[in-house]
Structure 1
Amino acid sequence: MSDVRLPEGLSDGDLIAVVSPASWPSGEGVEGCLSVLESWGFRPRLGTHARDQLGYLAGRDEDRLADLNDAIRDPEVRAIVTTRGGCGSSRLLHGVDVDGLAADPKPLIGYSDITALHRVWHLAGVPSLHAAATGRHADVVNRVLRGGTPPPVTRDPRQYGSGLTTGGRASGPLFGGNLEMLARSVGVLDFDLNGHVLLLEINKAAGLGNVDRALTQLLMSGALDGVVGVALGWLTGFEEFEDRGWTILEVLGERLGRLGVPVLAGLPFGHDPDPEVAPLGVPCTLDADAGVLTVSPALRMAP
Structure 2
Amino acid sequence: MKISEKLYRACELCPRRCKADRLSGQRGFCGETGQLYVARAALHFWEEPPLSGTKGSGAIFFSGCPLRCVFCQNDNISHGNLGHPITVRRLAKIMLELKDQGALNINLVTPFHFAPQVHEALMLAKEAGLKLPIVANTSGYELPELVDAMAPDIDIWLTDFKYASPELAQKLSGARNYPAVALEALKHMYAATEAKGVRKLEDSGRMLRGIIVRHLVLPTHIDDSMRVLDTVFQVCGNKVDYSIMNQYTPNERCRKRGGALSHALGSEEYEKVLDHADDLGIDRMWWQQGGTVSESFIPAFDATGVDGPELKIK
TM-score, reference length from structure 1 = 0.36
Structure (1/2) with the larger helix percentage: 2
TM-score, reference length from structure 2 = 0.35
Higher relative contact order (CA 8 A, sep 6+): 1
